[in-house]
Amino acid sequence: MSESALIVIPARMASTRFPNKPMALIAGKTMIERVWSIAKAVPGGSDVIIATDDPHLAAFVRGFGAQVMMTSPLCPTGTDRVAEAARQWEQHTIFFSLQGDAVLTPPWVIDAVLQTMLKDPSIQMATPAVRLQDSALQEFIQMKQQGSSTGTTVVFDRRGHALYFSKALIPYDRNGTDRLIYRHIGLYAYRMQTLQRLTLLPEGPLEKAEKLEQLRALENGIPIRVVEVDYRNRTHGSVDRPEDVAAVESIIAKEGELL
């Protein structure tokens, strides 16, 4: 059976940290349209839908040509919203969760994860990571030393299977020489059975401690393939709070538009 992918962009307007976030303007274009454009540019030609429980947002995204699916307002997480959408699009075999604030995630990063899934049907869940080097590494270390919870690190085994994700700097570098730090990119690809299983599992102690939903998979023995990606000298970033908009706009002004 040939495989195909659906990229789902879960989007909600009722964020406590940033109300109406999908509609926020970034360099003259709304956040949700930027992320949708990135998903549409993935070379694999996957289907793309925006999953939301807000009728006003649904009407807006239809206006720029996006497919939209109304999902339950009771969905506790973006993963639950993606799982609900997947049940209506069962003609696909791979389902992506692309966060609606991932305005600086290059299309080729998404495609790298997709190609990894297509080459190995045994992979049930995959996510990208980028090795930090030079100035990007030093800036990240400094940010963490100042107590920032922004940015997640990941360590993985020789087969590329995740061992752990953390808001702390891992692994600890006892010798203080060559720091092998991989920054996790919050994008996930699932096969249907794994996606649906995850939504039925309870939150575990590690997930509660780190506030990282992907740890639910590891706590329940679900392997996650980590795909090392190249940002091609682009800067990674997303928009969690209103003050992040200016930082993202500054990156776009310096490096140019992704598309």
- pLDDT grade for 46, boundaries at 50, 70 and 90: confident
Give the span between the Cα atoms of 35 and 99, in whole angstroms. 8
Q: What is the DSSP letter of 3?
A: -
Length of the chain as a residue count: 259
Give the span between the Cα atoms of 51 and 49, in whole angstroms. 6
Give the span between the Cα atoms of 11 and 111, in whole angstroms. 21
Give 117-142 pLDDT, tens digit per residue.
999 999 999 999 999 999 999 999 99
Per the CB < 8 A criterion, the answer to whether 94 and 190 are in contact is: yes
Give the span between the Cα atoms of 52 and 114, in whole angstroms. 23
**Encoded amino acid at 28, one letter:** G
Closest CA to 83 of 11, 33, 10, 15: 10
Closest CA to 194 of 117, 112, 102, 110: 117
Instruction: Determine whether 177 is exposed, middle or buried from the number of CB atoms within 10 Å of its CB (0-12, 13-18, 19+).
Output: exposed
Residue for token pair 């990674």: 236
Backbone angles phi, psi at 42, to 5 degrees: -65, 125
Task: Kindly report the CATH number that applies to the domain delimited by 5-255.
Answer: 3.90.550.10
Give 155-185 pLDDT, tens digit per residue.
999 999 999 999 999 999 888 777 899 999 9
Q: Which residues pair with 7 in a beta bridge?
A: 48, 96
pLDDT given at position 1:
60
Instruction: Give percent of the chain with pLDDT exceeding 70.
Output: 99
Three-state DSSP class for residue 109: helix
pTM: 0.94
Three-state DSSP class for residue 80: helix
**Helices 31-40, 107-119: crossing angle, 10 deg rounding:** 40
